[in-house]
Amino acid sequence: MPELHSFDYAVVRVVPRVERGEFMNAGVILFCSTRGYLASRIELDRDRLAALAPSVDSAVIESHLAVIPRVCQGGPAAGPIGELTQRERFHWLVAPRSTIIQTSPVHSGVDHDLTSAIDKLFDKLVRAPGR
């Protein structure tokens, strides 16, 4: 039987008007220290964002969201944060913020396949039903 891997994950949220506290999910970040795995799956549903906050510029939001996969990957493309360890980058990504891009509290899970796990979490927590 394949080995189970424990991991931590957080949901990436877009909070167009922080003072209202309304948000939509736009991605998942998954970290497994024992496997050296840090990845994200990000997708902004522009139609849902427009329904939630018609005046928000979705291109600006997408540019901010695009930083998350670069930080997960690490290296010079992610700037100074990219030089941190995977664990440090994960904790930087999931640190509480009062900005338009936020993350949920960190949750734990287990799976045999981490890539499959992030896909399942994304489908369950981010993708709109029927898409």
- pLDDT per position in the chain (131 positions), as tens? 789 999 999 999 999 998 888 999 999 999 999 999 999 999 999 999 999 999 999 999 999 999 999 999 999 999 999 999 999 999 999 999 889 999 999 999 999 999 999 999 999 999 977 66
Residue 31, domain member (yes or no): yes
Residue 130, domain member (yes or no): no
Which amino acid makes up residue 40? S
Residue 131, domain member (yes or no): no
Taken as a whole, the chain contains a residue count of 131
Residue 42, domain member (yes or no): yes
Please state whether beta strands 107-111 and 5-14 pair in parallel, antiparallel, or not at all (unpaired): antiparallel
Prediction pTM value: 0.94
- Into how many domains does the chain fold? 1
CA distance 66 to 3: 32
Comparing C-alpha atoms, which of 7, 28, 24, 36 is closest to residue 121? 28
CA distance 58 to 121: 23
Residue 92, domain member (yes or no): yes
Residue 24, domain member (yes or no): yes
Structural domain for 21, as ranges: 5-125
Helices (H), 1-131: 46-52, 58-65, 67-73, 86-94, 114-125
Comparing C-alpha atoms, which of 90, 114, 104, 119 is closest to residue 7? 114
CA distance 54 to 105: 27
